[in-house]
Structure 1
Amino acid sequence: MQKAKMSSAFAAPRIYNAPLTSSLTAEQRKQLCGLLGNLELTLLYKASVHGYQASAFHQQCDNQGPTLLVAYNRSGYIFGGYTSVDYAQSGQQIIDDHAFLFSVHDGSTLLDHQVSAEEKPWRNVLWTAEQRAQLMKMIRNYNPPVMFMSQVRILMIGPVGAGKSSFFNSINSIFMGRITSKAMSGSAGTSLTTQFHTYAVKDGRQGKPLPFVLCDTMGLEEQSGAGLDIEDISSILQGHVPDRYEFNPTVPYYPDEQNMSRHASLEEKIHCVVYVIDATKISLMSDKLQEKLASIRRKVNSLRIPQMVLMTKVDEACPLVQKDLQNIYLSSYIKSKVQEVSSRLGVPLSCVLPVKNYSQELELELNCDVLLLTALQQMLNFADDYLDDVDHM
Structure 2
Amino acid sequence: MAEVKSNLSKQAESQLLSLFEPVKLSLLYKASVHGYNSAAFHNKCDRQGPTLTVGYNNSGFIFGGYTSKSFAQTGQYLADEKAFLFSWKSNDPEKQPLRIPVANAQYAIHDNNLGPNFGTALVFLNGNVAAVITNPGQYYTFNAAELHGGDLNLTECEVYRVESLGYALEKPWRTVQWKAEKRKELIDTIRSYKPPVLSVPQFRVLLVGPVGAGKSSFFNSVNSVFRGHVTNQAPAGSSATSLTTKFRSYFTKAGRDGKPLPVVLCDSMGLEEVTGAGLDVDDVVSIIKGHVPDRYQFNPSMAIQENTPGFIKSAEMKDRIHCVAFVMDACKVKIMSAKLEEKLSAIRKKVNFIGVPQLVLLTKVDEACELVASDVSSVYKSKFIEGKMQEVGARLGIPVSCIVPVKNYSTELELDCNTDILLLSAVVQMLRFADNYFDDISFDEKCD
TM-score (structure 1 length as normaliser):
0.78
Say whether residues 1:332 and 2:393 are aligned partners: no
1:222 aligned partner: 273
How many aligned residue pairs are there? Answer: 333
2:322 aligned partner: 271
Say whether residues 1:30 and 2:84 are aligned partners: yes
Say whether residues 1:245 and 2:304 are aligned partners: no
Q: Give the Å deviation of 1:215.
A: 0.3
Q: Which has the higher helix share?
A: 1
1:256 aligned partner: 307
Q: Give the Å deviation of 1:323.
A: 1.2
1:156 aligned partner: 207
CA RMSD of aligned residues (A): 3.1
Query: In 1, Cα distance between the equivalents of 2:63 and 2:318?
Result: 69
Query: Of the candidates 168, 178, 188, which is equivalent to residue 219 of structure 2?
Result: 168
Q: Give the Å deviation of 1:392.
A: 3.5
CA contact (8 A) 1:279 1:337 kept: yes
Query: Of the candidates 393, 401, 406, which is equivalent to residue 342 of structure 1?
Result: 393
Report which structure shows greater RCO (CA 8 Å, sep ≥6): 1
Query: Of the candidates 284, 308, 329, which is equivalent to residue 335 of structure 2?
Result: 284
Identity percentage of aligned residues: 49
Query: In 2, Cα distance between the equivalents of 1:358 and 1:306?
Result: 26
CA contact (8 A) 2:247 2:298 kept: yes
CA contact (8 A) 1:146 1:391 kept: no
Say whether residues 1:194 and 2:245 are aligned partners: yes
Query: In 1, Cα distance between the equivalents of 2:207 and 2:332?
Result: 18
- Which digits, 9 at most, give the CA deviation of each residue in 1:121-141, with x for residues without a partner? 000000000000000001000
Q: Which has the larger radius of gyration?
A: 2
CA contact (8 A) 1:226 1:249 kept: yes
1:183 aligned partner: 234
User: What amino acid is the match of 1:137?
Assistant: D
Seen in structure 2, the aligned counterparts of structure 1 residues 7 and 46 have a Cα distance that, compared at 3 Å, is closer
User: What amino acid is the match of 2:373?
Assistant: Q
Say whether residues 1:39 and 2:129 are aligned partners: no
Query: In 1, Cα distance between the equivalents of 2:126 and 2:257?
Result: 58
User: What amino acid is the match of 2:280?
Assistant: D
Query: In 1, Cα distance between the equivalents of 2:57 and 2:380?
Result: 36
User: What amino acid is the match of 1:211?
Assistant: P
1:92 aligned partner: none
CA contact (8 A) 1:5 1:40 kept: no
Query: Of the candidates 259, 263, 279, which is equivalent to residue 212 of structure 1?
Result: 263
Say whether residues 1:69 and 2:159 are aligned partners: yes
Query: In 2, Cα distance between the equivalents of 1:12 and 1:274?
Result: 44
Query: In 1, Cα distance between the equivalents of 2:429 and 2:242?
Result: 27
Query: In 2, Cα distance between the equivalents of 1:344 and 1:214?
Result: 25
- Which digits, 9 at most, give the CA deviation of each residue in 1:144-169, with x for residues without a partner? 01113210110000000000000000
Query: In 2, Cα distance between the equivalents of 1:280 and 1:33?
Result: 29
Query: Of the candidates 25, 49, 52, which is equivalent to residue 128 of structure 2?
Result: 49
Q: Give the Å deviation of 1:39.
A: 3.2
Query: In 2, Cα distance between the equivalents of 1:221 and 1:261?
Result: 26
Query: In 2, Cα distance between the equivalents of 1:217 and 1:260?
Result: 16
CA contact (8 A) 2:228 2:415 kept: yes
User: What amino acid is the match of 2:98?
Assistant: L
Seen in structure 2, the aligned counterparts of structure 1 residues 265 and 326 have a Cα distance that, compared at 3 Å, is same
1:111-126 to 2 correspondences below 5 Å: 112=165, 115-126=166-177
Seen in structure 2, the aligned counterparts of structure 1 residues 296 and 261 have a Cα distance that, compared at 3 Å, is closer
Seen in structure 2, the aligned counterparts of structure 1 residues 5 and 169 have a Cα distance that, compared at 3 Å, is same
Gap runs ≥5 in structure 1: 14-22, 52-59, 71-78, 80-101, 104-109
TM-score (structure 2 length as normaliser):
0.68
Q: Give the Å deviation of 1:45.
A: 5.8
Query: Of the candidates 440, 444, 447, which is equivalent to residue 389 of structure 1?
Result: 440
